[in-house]
Amino acid sequence: MRKVAIVGVPLDLGGNRRGVDMGPSAVRVAGITDAIRRLGFDVRDTGDVDVPLPEEAEIGDAKKKYAEDIEDVCQDVCERVVREMKDGRVPITLGGDHSIAMGSIAGVATHFRAESRRIGLIWFDAHGDMNTPESTNTGNVHGMPLAHVLGMGDPLLAGVGGFSPKVHYSNAVLFGVRDLDEREKKLIGDSGVRVFTMKDLDRRGVSTTMEEAIEIASRGTAGIHVSFDMDAIDPSVARGVGTPRKGGLTYRESHLCLEIISDSQKMVGMDLVEVNPILDTRNATAELGVELILSALGKQIY
**How many whole angstroms separate alpha carbon 266 and alpha carbon 286?**
25
**How many whole angstroms separate alpha carbon 37 and alpha carbon 40?**
5
User: What residues are labeled active site?
Assistant: 98, 125, 127, 129, 142, 229, 231, 274
**How many whole angstroms separate alpha carbon 23 and alpha carbon 9?**
8
Give the residues across from 42 on adjacent strands. 3
Backbone dihedral angles phi then psi of residue 280, each to the nearest 5 degrees: -95, 170
The answer to whether the CB of 219 falls within 8 A of the CB of 266 is no
